[in-house]
């Protein structure tokens, strides 16, 4: 589930208005501002639901954010209704409850910003197993992830970088669909469970970042070419464009994908990809710089021409071969 702007923009504005009640002694416009805050908060709640993220259990940082925001909204509605219609709460108590609503709004705002920035721990579901990988909870990640594979030390997930262009994308497993289109004989629109039915492979691959750091990981997923074998390819198919939930994109030659048996991974180090590591799918572009390793992939398009992706259009090398200059000089 993407942490939708339809949720966080109106919710942030609502929280800021509620906080202003505490720090602004002038109550001349409180009724109008209160109505605006409630309307914005309701719009934020609608955006939260429409993004496919409406849940209150199990309790984690994301559902904590939802509960706190919900109570802040409910208390604000109560105080507004009393001020306009009921007149049942004495001014002193009304003031104290208003400060409580402001505190709840502040907590929801801070937690929401942490989630939006990708600094918060990933949202994970209950433990299960698929194709030899486990789906961890946020509390047992260090217990279930692999730390070594084939004699190579693996970097813990919590230590891995996340250079997202728009923060961590939070995608709902139940509503996720992978679209495959372009120069194919049959377009596909696959659910997450359907993806898990493809032949699974695991491989130790080093992910090199253009900034100079990198790490080894055991990646588990399916081969891009196995997926394209299901669609069939039309004449002229030469390149594949991968697009992510945040609008990020990158392309690779079809021949490279075939020759290197490139994976689309849904697992890393024996666990399901966490949200901040690219759930549900990350491209494992071996021997390519990290900006080719697209995360949160939702669309694959087969093309006859090479299309520059997000960073390539900004001057990065389109080949991205490790050992070669990462920037196009001409």
Model confidence pLDDT, tens digit, residues 232-277: 999 999 999 999 999 999 999 999 999 999 999 999 988 999 888 8
Share of the chain above pLDDT 70, in %: 82
Within 13 Å, how many C-alpha atoms sit on residue 260's CB side?
17
Homologous superfamily of 131-314 in CATH?
A: Oxidoreductase, molybdopterin-binding domain (3.90.420.10)
Q: Domain coordinates of the chain in residue numbers?
A: 5-117, 131-314
From 188, 315, 308, 182, select the one nearest 252 (Cα to Cα): 308
Q: What are phi and psi of 175, to 5 degrees?
A: -100, -5
Q: How far is CA 209 from CA 313, 319, 324, in A?
A: 18, 14, 13
pLDDT at 77: 92
From 230, 224, 209, 228, select the one nearest 282 (Cα to Cα): 224
What tokens were used for 271?
């666990």
Share of the chain above pLDDT 90, in %: 42
Position 56 confidence tier, pLDDT thresholds 50, 70, 90: low
What is the value of pTM for the model shown?
0.59
Query: What's the chain look like in SS3?
Result: CCCCHHHHHHHHHHHHHHHHHHHCCCCCCHHHHHHHHHHHHHHHHHHHHHCCCCCCCCCCHHHHHHHHHHHHHHHHHHHHHHHHHHCCCCHHHHHHHHHHHHHHHHHHHHHHHHHHHCCCCCCCCCCCEECCEECCCCCCHHHHCCCEECCEECCCHHHCCCCCCCCCCCCCCCCCEEEEEECECCCEEEEHHHHCCCCCEEEEEEEECCCCCEEEEEEEEEEHHHHHHHHCECCCCCEEEEEECCCCEEEEEHHHHHHCCCEEEEEECCEECCHHHCCCCEEECCCECHHHCCCCEEEEEEECCCCCCCCHHHCECCCCECCCCCECCC
> Residue range 214-232: average pLDDT?
93
Each residue's pLDDT tens digit, 136-161: 544 455 567 888 877 888 887 777 76
Position 122 confidence tier, pLDDT thresholds 50, 70, 90: very low
> Mean pLDDT for the chain?
83
294 has a pLDDT exceeding 90? yes
């Amino acid at each position: 589930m993407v942490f939708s702007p339809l949720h966080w923009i109106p919710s942030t504005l609502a929280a800021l208005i509620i906080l202003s009640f505490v720090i602004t002694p002038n109550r001349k416009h409180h009724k109008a501002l209160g109505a605006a805050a409630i309307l914005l908060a309701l719009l934020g709640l609608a955006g939260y639901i429409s993004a496919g993220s409406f849940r209150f259990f199990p309790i984690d940082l994301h559902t904590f954010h939802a509960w706190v925001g919900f109570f802040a909204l409910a208390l604000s509605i109560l105080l507004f209704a009393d001020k306009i219609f009921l007149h049942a709460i004495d001014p002193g108590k009304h003031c104290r409850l208003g400060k409580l609503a402001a505190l709840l709004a502040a907590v929801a705002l801070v937690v929401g910003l942490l989630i939006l920035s990708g600094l918060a721990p990933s949202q994970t579901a209950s433990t299960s197993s698929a194709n030899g990988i486990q789906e961890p909870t946020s509390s047992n990640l260090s217990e279930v992830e692999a730390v070594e594979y084939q004699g190579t030390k693996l970097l813990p997930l919590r230590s891995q970088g996340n250079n997202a262009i728009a923060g961590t994308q939070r995608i709902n497993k139940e509503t996720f669909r992978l679209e495959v289109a372009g120069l194919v004989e049959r377009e596909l629109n696959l659910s997450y469970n359907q993806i898990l039915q493809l032949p699974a492979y695991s491989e130790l691959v080093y992910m090199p970042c253009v900034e100079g750091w990198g790490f080894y990981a055991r990646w588990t997923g399916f081969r891009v070419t196995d997926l394209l074998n299901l669609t069939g390819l039309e004449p002229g198919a030469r390149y594949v464009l991968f697009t992510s939930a945040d609008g990020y994109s990158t392309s690779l030659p079809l021949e490279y994908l075939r020759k290197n048996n490139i994976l689309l991974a849904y697992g890393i180090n024996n666990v399901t990809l966490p949200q901040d590591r690219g759930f549900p799918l990350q491209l494992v572009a071996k021997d390519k710089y990290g900006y080719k390793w697209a995360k949160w992939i939702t669309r694959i398009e087969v093309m006859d021409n090479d299309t520059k992706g997000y960073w390539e259009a900004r001057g990065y090398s389109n080949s991205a071969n490790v050992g070669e200059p990462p920037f196009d000089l001409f």
